[in-house]
């Protein structure tokens, strides 16, 4: 590779000196994203409610020679979220990148099995949790007039699904909220985008029957497929992307 080409790639995709918060970083997409962001040079603050798996993620990043810090956090708890952002500021100075990945599944329930408590739980985690982190990091991003907010939705929010109206509703809300924020924050040089994956080989996905999908696609997506999309949106190469929904789904749904 010619040195000039390597330099262009580096300038476009490097995350050196960037600070990134990744929620749901204990496993699956969040873990793959935290590791990939760190590999591109970011200082990663990994967040998850599962402390043991979170510690494993950060240990793997540091073993590879990159920078990361683990902060356990319940994304539905505003005090914990604000405390995490304040600690990040104390240690690393600011936040440049926010990846809202923390979420839970609906369990494959038809509408008559989704009670009010379960509906509220999915909204709290999958939608309000995203809002909590955006609310907490925005003052920093506005002050520096720079920010990359990437929230993980789902192809179910775009195309619907056979079950789990509460999951689809929460993930659909993530898209609508992000598009509105993209317009609101455009003049402040803060990019807001969404990644809406299809079937991805994670622990959460295995709550579903995946065999029918294997008959339609040549493979199920891996967490790294989504992480690569997130890293693109976190980089300066995506500077003209805002309010967009990128959907790595293997052809499951075509925009």
Which residues form the catalytic set? Answer: 167
Report CA 26 to chain centroid distance, whole Å.
Answer: 12
Give the strand pairing for 190-195 and 245-246. parallel
Task: Judge contact between 153 and 112, C-beta under 8 A.
Answer: no
List, in sequence order, the alpha helices (H) in the chain.
3-13, 28-39, 51-63, 78-92, 116-123, 129-144, 155-159, 165-184, 211-216, 223-234
Tokens found for residue 10: 């580096």
Task: Judge contact between 45 and 67, C-beta under 8 A.
Answer: no
């Amino acid at each position: 590779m010619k040195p000039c080409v390597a330099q262009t790639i580096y300038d476009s995709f490097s995350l050196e000196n960037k600070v990134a918060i990744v929620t749901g970083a204990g496993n699956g997409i969040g873990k793959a994203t935290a590791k990939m962001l760190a590999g591109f040079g970011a200082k990663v603050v990994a967040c998850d409610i599962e402390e043991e798996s979170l510690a494993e993620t950060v240990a793997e990043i540091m073993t590879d020679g990159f920078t990361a810090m683990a902060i356990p956090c319940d994304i539905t708890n505003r005090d914990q979220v604000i405390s995490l952002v304040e600690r990040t500021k104390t240690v690393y100075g600011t936040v440049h990148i926010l990846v809202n990945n923390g979420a839970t599944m609906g369990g494959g329930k038809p509408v008559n099995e989704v009670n009010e408590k379960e509906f509220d739980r999915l909204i709290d985690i999958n939608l309000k949790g995203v809002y909590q982190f955006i609310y907490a990091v925005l003052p920093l991003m506005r002050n520096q007039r720079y920010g990359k907010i990437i929230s993980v939705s789902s192809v179910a929010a775009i195309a619907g699904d056979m079950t789990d109206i509460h999951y689809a509703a929460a993930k659909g809300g993530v898209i609508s909220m992000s598009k509105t924020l993209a317009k609101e924050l455009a003049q402040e040089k803060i990019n807001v985008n969404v990644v809406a994956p299809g079937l991805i080989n994670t622990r959460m996905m295995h709550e579903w029957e995946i065999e029918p999908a294997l008959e339609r696609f040549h493979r199920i997506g891996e967490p790294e497929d989504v992480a690569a999309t997130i890293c693109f949106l976190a980089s300066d190469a995506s500077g003209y992307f805002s309010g967009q929904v990128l959907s790595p789904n293997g052809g499951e749904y075509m925009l």
